[in-house]
């Protein structure tokens, strides 16, 4: 039972997929630019990420530790990929927030 609580396989894979998607769809300069094309790229990327997060929430019940691990891993991976610290922190927060909301909606 406790092994499942500390297993971060799903969230590690999700964090890697999200960073890969961001790297392809929204380069570092698009994260900080306010142009229309950058805003469109952000919206499209966020929709793809939201879809992945909702799919994970629908298929897996994650604990508090796993959600926290997702946030810290995602923030660190985004910072390592060259995204600004402020963007990394807020984006990771929004992903974990979306996951928590989707998981709460799943429960009766």
In terms of C-beta density within 10 A (0-12 exposed, 13-18 middle, 19 or more buried), how is residue 99 classed? buried
* pLDDT for the residue numbered 98: 93
Mean pLDDT of 9-32: 89
Helix (H, G, I), strand (E, B) or coil at 27: coil
* pLDDT for the residue numbered 1: 57
pLDDT in tens, 29-56: 877 788 888 888 889 999 999 999 999 9
| 93 has a pLDDT exceeding 90 | yes
DSSP label of 32: H
> Which residue range(s) make up the domain with 40?
2-106
Mean pLDDT of 57-79: 91
Domain count, the chain: 1
């Amino acid at each position: 039972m406790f092994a499942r609580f500390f297993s971060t396989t799903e969230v590690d894979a999700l964090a890697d997929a999200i960073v890969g998607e961001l790297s392809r769809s929204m380069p570092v300069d698009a994260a900080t630019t306010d142009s229309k094309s950058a805003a469109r790229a952000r919206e499209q990327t966020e929709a793809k990420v939201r879809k992945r997060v909702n799919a994970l929430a629908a298929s897996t019940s994650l604990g508090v530790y796993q959600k926290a691990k997702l946030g810290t891993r995602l923030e660190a991976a985004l910072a390592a990929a060259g995204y600004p610290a402020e963007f990394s922190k807020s984006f990771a927060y929004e992903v974990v927030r979306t996951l928590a909301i989707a998981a709460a909606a799943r429960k009766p």
